[in-house]
């Protein structure tokens, strides 16, 4: 297992994600009334970074809403679960509560260093705490929150037995339709570890979609620079060389117990799958002239997913 300093650098990537999201929110790219509580020093990001985070947020949001609506036309309404691996300071649960899209259960997992900070923040700010409902138990030292529809638990994703344990503690029902999210997380794991994680989830959840957002194409000029930037902050990107192409991302699912899989780069997703009206809206928010760099940047990020669909309820970007 990695040394403290490497794990610490990986945990710090979460602060950067949170502050980039807040930068987007302040510029009007998306609404999120909660991310402000998780950022100590708000920083402004460049238009290209803001647009990239918007694209990431909008595409994951689209898959998420599709999942939450899946099967809702049948008589048999299914309770839904979300399991966020390396959730960081994601505010998903709080947003979905506001939007009346809240699933039966959201479970967030991260290193204890991160979950205890998150527990402290949630406990500190009433608008966050209120969303947990009356039946909630926050342990700041242990980095744990138990409430009716939201659980926050510490675990190291490299240790699958600890994951089994927290699924039990969180009362996750593996047979229910479940969305598993790993947003900018697997690249920090050793390839063997992320394969094991994908396989573990595929075995465990017969009705699930596992969504992975991460970098791709590490081997061209831009990709090498992107890796160097991240690695200079002390985070070796262990997982990326193993899945350098869309085909490799798909194979990671298909070879490890998933029925179907798809992978799309963010340039394609931004052009074809994000709501056109919203795209037009955000493209007017800031002066923007880095079109060439924008396309190259987006080609270096992708979403891949695996689906297990015993109930036959899942669709995706399509």
Contacting residue, 98, 123, 156, 190, with ligand SAM by CB under 6 A? 156
The smaller minimum CB distance to ligand SAM, of residues 22 and 114, is found at 114
The annotation status of 156 as a binding-site residue, yes or no, is yes
The annotation status of 293 as a binding-site residue, yes or no, is no
Q: How far is the CB of 287 from ligand SAM (least distance, A)?
A: 26
Residues 6 or more apart whose CB falls under 8 angstroms from that of 72 comprise: none
- 93 binds ligand SAM, rule: CB under 6 A: no
- 157 binds ligand SAM, rule: CB under 6 A: yes
Residues 111-140 that bind ligand SAM (CB under 6 A): 111, 114
DSSP label of 76:
S
Residues 6 or more apart whose CB falls under 8 angstroms from that of 163 comprise: 109, 155, 157, 200
The annotation status of 56 as a binding-site residue, yes or no, is yes
- 11 binds ligand SAM, rule: CB under 6 A: yes
Q: How far is the CB of 185 from ligand SAM (least distance, A)?
A: 4
Q: Which residue has the tokens 């949630």?
A: 122
41: three-class secondary structure by DSSP? coil
Could you tell me the CA-to-CA distances from 223 to 227, 269, 301 in Å, in that order? 6, 19, 10
Distance between CA atoms of 188 and 190, rounded to whole angstroms?
7
Residues belonging to the chain: 318
The smaller minimum CB distance to ligand SAM, of residues 156 and 286, is found at 156
The number of C-alpha atoms within 13 Å of 244 and in the hemisphere containing its C-beta is: 9
Distance between CA atoms of 48 and 63, rounded to whole angstroms?
23
Contacting residue, 25, 55, 82, 87, with ligand SAM by CB under 6 A? 87
CA–CA–CA angle 149, 153, 156 (5° rounding)? 145
Residues 184-213 that bind ligand SAM (CB under 6 A): 184-185, 188
Cα-Cα-Cα-Cα dihedral sign, residues 140, 144, 145, 150: positive
The smaller minimum CB distance to ligand SAM, of residues 132 and 181, is found at 181
Rg (CA), the chain: 19
The smaller minimum CB distance to ligand SAM, of residues 49 and 311, is found at 49
| Number of residues engaging ligand SAM in binding (CB under 6 A) | 19
Q: Which two tokens stand for residue 205?
A: 């959840």
The smaller minimum CB distance to ligand SAM, of residues 199 and 259, is found at 199
Residue range at the interface with ligand SAM (CB under 6 A); choices 106-114, 166-174, 272-280, 303-311: 106-114
Could you tell me the CA-to-CA distances from 318 to 63, 133, 186, 263, 265 in Å, in that order? 11, 36, 24, 11, 14
The annotation status of 71 as a binding-site residue, yes or no, is no
Contacting residue, 86, 103, 177, 218, with ligand SAM by CB under 6 A? 86
The smaller minimum CB distance to ligand SAM, of residues 10 and 170, is found at 10
Q: How far is the CB of 72 from ligand SAM (least distance, A)?
A: 26
Q: How far is the CB of 35 from ligand SAM (least distance, A)?
A: 10
DSSP label of 46:
P
The smaller minimum CB distance to ligand SAM, of residues 68 and 83, is found at 83
Annotated binding site for S-adenosyl-L-methionine: 56, 86, 156-157, 183
Q: Which residues bind ligand SAM (CB under 6 A)?
A: 10-11, 13-14, 17, 86-88, 90, 110-111, 114, 156-158, 183-185, 188
């Amino acid at each position: 297992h990695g040394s403290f300093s490497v794990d610490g650098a990986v945990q710090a990537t979460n602060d950067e994600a949170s502050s980039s999201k807040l930068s987007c929110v302040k510029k009007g790219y998306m609404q999120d009334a909660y991310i402000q509580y998780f950022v100590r020093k708000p920083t402004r990001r460049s238009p290209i970074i803001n647009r990239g985070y918007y694209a990431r947020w909008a595409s994951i949001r689209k898959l998420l809403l599709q999942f939450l609506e899946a099967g809702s036309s049948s008589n048999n309404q299914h309770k839904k679960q979300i399991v966020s691996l390396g959730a960081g300071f994601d505010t998903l649960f709080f947003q979905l509560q506001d939007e009346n899209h809240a699933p039966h259960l959201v479970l967030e997992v991260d290193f204890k260093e991160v979950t205890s900070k998150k527990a402290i923040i949630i406990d500190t700010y009433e608008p966050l705490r209120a969303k947990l409902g009356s039946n909630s138990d926050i342990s700041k030292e242990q980095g744990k929150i138990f409430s009716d529809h939201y659980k926050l638990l510490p675990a190291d994703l490299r240790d699958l037995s600890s994951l089994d344990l927290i699924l039990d503690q969180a009362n996750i029902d593996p047979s229910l339709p479940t969305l598993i999210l790993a947003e900018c997380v697997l690249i920090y794991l050793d390839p063997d570890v992320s394969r094991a994680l994908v396989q573990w989830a595929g075995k465990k959840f017969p009705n699930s979609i596992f969504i992975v957002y991460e970098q791709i194409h590490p081997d061209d000029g831009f990709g090498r620079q992107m890796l160097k930037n991240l690695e200079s902050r002390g985070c070796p990107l262990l997982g990326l060389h193993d899945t350098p192409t869309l085909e490799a991302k798909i194979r990671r699912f298909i070879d490890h117990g998933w029925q179907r899989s798809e992978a799309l780069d963010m340039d394609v997703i931004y052009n074809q799958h994000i709501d056109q009206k919203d795209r037009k809206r955000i493209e007017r928010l800031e002066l923007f002239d880095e079109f060439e760099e924008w396309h190259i940047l987006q080609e270096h990020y992708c979403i891949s997913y695996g689906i297990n669909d015993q109930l036959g309820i899942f669709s995706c970007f399509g």
